[in-house]
Structure 1
Amino acid sequence: MTTSTAVTAVKAYWMSGIGHCNSAEIIHHYLTTNNIQRSDSTWVALQSIIGFGAENALKAYLASADMTRDALLKKPFGHNLRNLLNEAKVRGLNAYAVDSGRPQLITELEKFISLCGDDYQSFNYRYIEGDGVTLLGAGSSTDNVIRCLQHLLNIVESKAGLSF
């Protein structure tokens, strides 16, 4: 992959991750501020947006660590958040795992992926298929995941020297 192609892939994933994380933050604030019932399907849509934010943030990190876009799109990666996170750890994400004043990055991402990764990977949040889907808690657990994803995107921004 040429340098300009690599930067383009990193920036594309980074920008998409920022957009989805910002959207998740806005929707979560709206849902909690207005006491929207957990049975409202907007909560399911929020999980899908958080999942897509996680996918793009992890792919941005991996692209900044020299993984090709082609490799990221195919198995074993694709929409598999668990495999994306594991590969990010292999490629040095652990070095950024703890930042003062923030939840631990790896721990929060692992919790989110163990709860929601399978539903995200099988598109259950997009189409609300199956008997039900797993939702994060309405308060701090959702906030923690969003903040961790934003932190990961900041890591990518610094690492790759990105800006809008």
Structure 2
Amino acid sequence: MPYLIPGIGHLNLVKISYNYLNENNIPREDSSWIALHFSPGLALEVSLKACLSQLGFSTDQLKTGKFGHRLDALTNAVEESLDGNPQAFNKFLILRPVLGELIDCIGADYLNMNYRYLEGDEVFSIRPGDSFLNAISLVESVCNITEFLQSQKT
């Protein structure tokens, strides 16, 4: 299934990196924290694209145009596309408030690749602790919805 395997891979990378940085008390000034900020957005992007792919969107549709790296557009498309599937729709609605908060927090920086090409150390939208854990949980939930949609097709 397109996007799901990379989504899970990026999610696992976030978990491993976050746990390592925390357990080893790596200072926030370390460049590893800056690099880690890009990963939750990427994991979220590809997990939302996996969900949309399962709902019939083509890879070409998801790469360009109104989607690309726009987490808000991807989220809105998932919500609209799940409207005909009450079970999946209700699972997604539960996530919607936290998803909105995460997108408000990182969406513009992620879209503009501010974490990828950071020149200084000023971009720290996601703080260690609950925000990272919420991001991890959120991506896991989107992947679970995608797997649920896939199971309905078999």
Assess same fold via TM > 0.5.
yes
Q: Name the residue aligned to 1:96.
A: 91
AA partner of residue 117 (structure 2): Y
- In 1, distance between residues paired with 2:24 and 2:130? 16
Q: Residues of 2 paired with 1:142 and 1:16: CA distance? A: 19
Contact 2:17–2:36 under 8 Å retained in 1: yes
Normalised TM-score (structure 2): 0.87
CA RMSD of aligned residues (A): 1.9
CA distance in 1, matches of 2:119, 2:55: 35
Structure 2 residue matching 1:91: 3-state secondary structure: helix
TM-score normalized with structure 1 length: 0.82
Distance 2:117 2:67 in 1: 21
Q: Which residue in the other structure is 2:105 paired with? A: 115
Unaligned runs of 5+ in 1: 1-10, 99-103
Q: Which residue of 2 aligns with 1:44?
A: 34
Moved over 2 A (4+): 129-132
Q: Which stretches in structure 2 are left out of the alignment for 5+ residues?
A: 83-87
Preserved contact between residue 92 and residue 142 of structure 2 (Cα < 8 Å): no
TM-superposed CA distance for 1:21, in Å, is 0.3
Counting only pairs closer than 5 Å after superposition, residues 51-130 of structure 1 correspond to structure 2 as 51-92=41-82, 94-97=89-92, 104-129=94-119
What is the CA–CA distance in structure 2 between the aligned matches of 1:138 and 1:65, rounded to whole Å? 34
Preserved CA contact (<8 Å) 1:24 1:49: yes
Q: Could you tell me which of 139, 143, 146 is aligned with 2:129?
A: 139
Matched residue type, 1:66: G
SS at match of 2:115: helix
